[in-house]
Structure 1
């Protein structure tokens, strides 16, 4: 079946953005963009990204052809977004609380909606971070403003992966894409109901 053939047009595409790619139509430095990986119709039919992920980040990225929907979903505080983060260093309980109350940087104050330690690997810490409203390089700058109590150096983000937006969870391999189900679309647009879990086709 043609992936673009459906009785009811799909309004969103999920893409698992790999690290090292730029979220833009073209790059003046000839760096690899997400459109170099996605099928040609995404570019030709003018599917636009809903929000951004920086070059060094990976994970869940949504696309739509409707500018109004993109604006709706990127409104501050519209949805929680969840990120799996590896940092170099050990974060203290006091610092965990500080990220919820506000971390002062050289230019602003950054806070997380939620944070949870998932585990450790040597000097590295794995965390789940929830943002309700994100600023430019929000997570990286917040951790960078905190000190590792052992090394007395700034905590450094080693890997950042967005795994969920609202009720929509990333469930496809890196560089793959799929259309959202109608249930997922409704959950995003209405912001209320949880989508049902069903089998989905993954496309490279």
Structure 2
């Protein structure tokens, strides 16, 4: 491990590209995030904090510290920010519904904040903030909303996590780096 004295001993970040599973190994032989990391990350038991599905990309933190892992994955404890592209025109009504929440088999799915960032053809770019991450939370939340014109579910085409708590993604796709001691302190200072 080539950490410098200013590097955290508890946390590192990976910018996960699409097409990698967040798991230690896959029975089907598919690529996992550990294929992007040095061998010691697997050998020393560094575990991902939370998940990003196969088609999602962006910030993934790793730790060997179960207390940090628990604190960062406890609902309401940690704000996570995503940029997504949704197929269809996302209306103010859709945004209001996402903020109010929709019932799903996984429980209530909702966003704390939804900001429309732009349009591209028949797609809408949004910034979404949530403080818990149920399985496929954002994809299921928007999938529960209907396109008023076609009556079909909205579909998240792209999803990228850009920050977790105070830590913002600042590395290229498929790259990783240790958090600095300062970044670690900032990230975990507000956690119980």
2:95 is paired with a residue of what secondary structure?
A: helix
Listed one character per residue, the Cα deviations across residues 115-168 of structure 1 (whole Å, up to 9, x for unaligned) are: 000000010000000001221111001101111122221100100000001110
Q: What corresponds to 1:90 in structure 2?
A: 89
**Unaligned runs of at least 5 residues, structure 1:** 193-204
Give the Cα separation in 1 of the matches to 2:41 and 2:133.
26
Q: TM-score, normalised by structure 2?
A: 0.94
**Structure 1 position 7, deviation (Å):** 7.0
Say whether the 8 Å CA contact 1:50–1:73 is kept in structure 2.
yes
Q: What corresponds to 1:114 in structure 2?
A: 113
1:55 is paired with a residue of what secondary structure?
A: coil
Give the Cα separation in 2 of the matches to 1:80 and 1:121.
27
Q: What corresponds to 2:44 in structure 1?
A: 45
Give the Cα separation in 2 of the matches to 1:163 and 1:153.
28
Superposed, which structure 2 residues align to 1:13-24 within 5 Å?
A: 13-24=12-23
Q: What corresponds to 2:64 in structure 1?
A: 65
List 4+ stretches of structure 1 deviating above 4 A: none
CA RMSD of aligned residues (A): 1.6
Q: TM-score, normalised by structure 1?
A: 0.88
Give the Cα separation in 2 of the matches to 1:171 and 1:9.
16
Give the Cα separation in 1 of the matches to 2:74 and 2:98.
22
Say whether the 8 Å CA contact 2:6–2:180 is kept in structure 1.
no
**Structure 1 position 60, deviation (Å):** 0.1
**Unaligned runs of at least 5 residues, structure 2:** none
- Of Structure 1 and Structure 2, the greater strand share is in 2
Give the Cα separation in 2 of the matches to 1:7 and 1:170.
18
- Number of residue pairs matched by the alignment: 191
Give the Cα separation in 2 of the matches to 1:8 and 1:176.
16
1:73 is paired with a residue of what secondary structure?
A: helix
Q: What corresponds to 1:157 in structure 2?
A: 156
